[in-house]
Amino acid sequence: MKKYLFFVDLDKAGNLEHGLEYYAAGFVFNEHPNCPSGKELGVTYMSPFGVVTSEWRSRSEVDLIEVSKADYENLRNSLAEA
């Protein structure tokens, strides 16, 4: 059964925009176990300034939250329309 995951960064140091550091939070769109780079999670999030970004994260960099399919699709669709 497919898991629907949201993520929250554990550290805000890598997220800086217009002088503001923030914790990225969004959804996991892809998983690549055993990825050579160690960045096995494809994630998408919106910055506080409305910039939608997709990046790769390692599991050790994020907190993962399992959510319902409906919540996952609502966030995914909202970011796709932004």
pLDDT on residue 81: 87
- Arithmetic mean of pLDDT over the chain: 92
Give the residue-averaged pLDDT of 4-21. 92
**pLDDT tens for each residue of 18-57:** 999 999 999 999 998 888 888 999 999 999 999 999 999 9
65, 4 contact by CB (below 8 A): no
The three-state DSSP-derived secondary structure of the chain is CCCEEEEEECCCCCCEECCEECCCEEEEEEECCCCCCCCCEEEEEECCCCCEEEEEECHHHEEEEEECHHHHHHHHHHHHHC
Residue 14 — pLDDT band, cuts 50, 70, 90? Answer: confident
Residue range 49-78: mean pLDDT, rounded: 95
